[in-house]
A and B are shown apart, each in its own frame.
Chain A
């Protein structure tokens, strides 16, 4: 059978974030994959060097809607390193708690989406119902369900009051128990296993070569976690395992993420126990001395790295941001190669890409005959579900 070139995206009325993927297929098998990004390039890096350090905080918060807290924390970490400022200890613990809250909400969101992509709608409904618990906690602590605006230069904006702590502990206990239940489902439910086991395989060696990060890298057996390799905040004082899996497939990535939810609940509980009393923020100088700093953080999707250079004024000379999705793209292309068309949605979703995978326009083009037929992402997802 002739090879088909098969573009996905970028434009569709229902698309939240457009990206263009191109697959070469031989029958049902994907033989080659390519990606074209940049449709939502917002020049945040350039804008950062035209605004002052405080204004940049708001820009960095908006790099991503899901890992917004990780970006502001990482930015603050870099700027505080240049200024040589040590923030109050209580603020460090609160930053850690926010960081882990965000991991819980993001991994649960991902698990729901993964269920949706393979047509396991009841999993999607259950997970997203439980996710409301952590969303309510985030709203209680920061006032917002997304874009928490919790981190500021020199600390955090709000304190966690004693009456909140009781509610947080109750919520975490519930979420931990639910996460254990989902871990059980992921390893025992036949529908889930058939669609995830052996799908989107990429070896640990390839992952390291291609620079993959986060759960994708760990699910291929490489124990790289920034929280362990370069401990920031108070991560050297809490106990947590670096979760890895030797499965190298979508199932492995699911297990790593679900176990990280359990770990995140435990880390939060430890933080609440060990958090000292004190100030939660301090005065931060408007001008930052000349210098440069590199800061890494383990966001829920993987390592985020910021490079900030200051020239002694109140405007940074350069802010460089690298998000985990860009690092995971080369590995994700390897995942779909050799797999079936119907497995594309779940394989791509398994890297937890920042661009939305919903409702794309797909065109199947027969190169040899010039025949072309058009298929929506919804139809592709339907094809994916028929396989279930």
Chain B
């Protein structure tokens, strides 16, 4: 299957809002959904293309919101699903019950960006130590190193 065919299939069969749908090459498809629809999209992808590979979830602080990109491999196509979590909301539903491979990546996102995964089966910290201060998220752009934790964040 090519990326264009995949996009076509999504557009004709997925019932929901798409904020983005683009085939950037024959093997790379990009989709966007609102944050509230992420489990619906994950469910759709799994139903259409069976148990599939989730490579990782990338987070990126874009100022007023945090971009989450779910990198799937569906039927030989690199399928990237983007969603935006507004700062202040800081929560999104977990996809781990639908795609078990997400378990570690979702914990990493919670650690690094402070986006809580609602309903996550194992919401412990993944990479940050137990005594890391609450509310301090290393990959947020407004983070310049907390009083405790990172004392000198390359600022001096």
Binding site for B on A (CB under 8 A): 37-38, 41, 43, 45-46, 50, 205, 208-211, 213, 224, 229-230, 294, 296, 303, 305, 307, 309, 317-318, 320, 322, 326-327, 329-330
| A330 with B58, Cβ < 8 A, contacts A224-B53, A294-B80 known | no
A317 and B67 alpha carbons, distance in the complex (Å): 12
Asked whether A318 and B60 contact (CB < 8 A) given A209-B101, A229-B76, A330-B103, the answer is: yes
A-B contact pairs, 7 of them (CB 8 A): A38-B125, A41-B128, A208-B51, A229-B73, A303-B55, A307-B56, A322-B55
> In the complex, which residues of chain B have a beta carbon less than 8 angstroms from the beta carbon of A326?
104
A317 contact set on B, CB distance < 8 A: 60
Q: Tell whether B135 is near chain A: CB-to-CB under 8 Å.
A: no
Closest-by-CB residue of A relative to B125 is A38
The A-contacting residues of B in range 1-30, CB under 8 angstroms, are: 27-28
Q: What 11 additional pairs, Cβ within 8 angstroms, besides A209-B51, A303-B55?
A: A37-B127, A38-B126, A41-B127, A46-B139, A230-B27, A294-B78, A307-B69, A318-B60, A322-B55, A330-B100, A330-B104
Contact across chains for B139 and A330 when beta carbons are under 8 A apart:
no
B55/A296 in contact, CB under 8 A? yes
> CA separation between A188 and B60, bound complex, in Å?
51
Say whether A211 contacts B53, CB under 8 Å: yes
**Is B32 on the interface with A (CB-CB < 8 A)?**
no
Does B42 sit within 8 A of A, measured CB to CB? no
What is the CB-to-nearest-CB distance from B31 to chain A, in angstroms, rounded to a whole number? 13
| B88 within 8 A of partner (CB) | no
Please determine whether B53 and A208 come into contact, CB atoms closer than 8 angstroms.
Answer: yes
Whether the Cβ atoms of B56 and A305 lie closer than 8 Å is yes
| Ranked 8 nearest A-B pairs via Cβ | A211-B101, A38-B127, A322-B56, A320-B58, A307-B58, A318-B60, A305-B55, A209-B100
A205: contacting residue among B51, B59, B76, B105, CB under 8 A:
B51
Query: Across the two chains, which residue of chain B brings its CB closest to A317?
Result: B60
Query: Contact size class for B?
Result: 20 to 34
A46 CA to B141 CA, complexed, in Å:
9
**Whole-angstrom distance between the Cβ of A51 and the nearest chain B Cβ:** 10
CB distance from A44 to the nearest CB of B (A): 11
Q: How far is the CB of B68 from chain A (nearest CB, A)?
A: 11
Task: State the main secondary structure of chain A at its contact with B.
Answer: mixed
Do A320 and B100 touch (CB < 8 A)? no
Chain B's closest residue to A231 (CB) is: B27
Alpha-carbon distance A205/B60, docked complex (angstroms): 31
B65 contacts A by Cβ under 8 Å: no
> Which residue of chain B has the shortest Cβ distance to A211 in the bound complex?
B101
Within 8 A of A (CB), among B118-155: 125-129, 138-139, 154
A29 to B52, CA, bound (A): 32
Do residues B101 and A210 form an inter-chain contact, with CB atoms below 8 A?
yes
Kindly identify, within residues 34 to 67 of chain B, every residue whose CB is under 8 Å from any CB belonging to chain A: 51-56, 58-60
When chains A and B are docked, how far (Å) is the Cα of A224 from the Cα of B69? Answer: 22
Least CB separation from A43: chain B residue: B138
In the complex with contacts A330-B101, A330-B103, A320-B127 CB distance below 8 A: no
| A318 surroundings in chain B (CB, below 8 A) | 58, 60
Question: What is the chain B residue whose CB lies nearest that of A208?
Answer: B51
Contact indicator A45/B53 (Cβ below 8 Å)? no
List of A residues within 8 angstroms of B80 by Cβ: 294
B87 contacts the other chain (Cβ, under 8 Å)? no
Q: Nearest-CB distance from B127 to chain A (Å)?
A: 4
Name the interface residues of B76-119: CB closer than 8 Å to any CB of A.
Answer: 76, 78, 80, 100-105
Closest to B25 in A: A81
Complex CA–CA separation, A211 to B105 (angstroms): 11
Instruction: Given A230-B27, A296-B55, A330-B101, check contact A309 B60 (CB 8 Å).
Output: yes
A39 to chain B, nearest CB (A): 8
Residue of B nearest to A217 (CB): B53
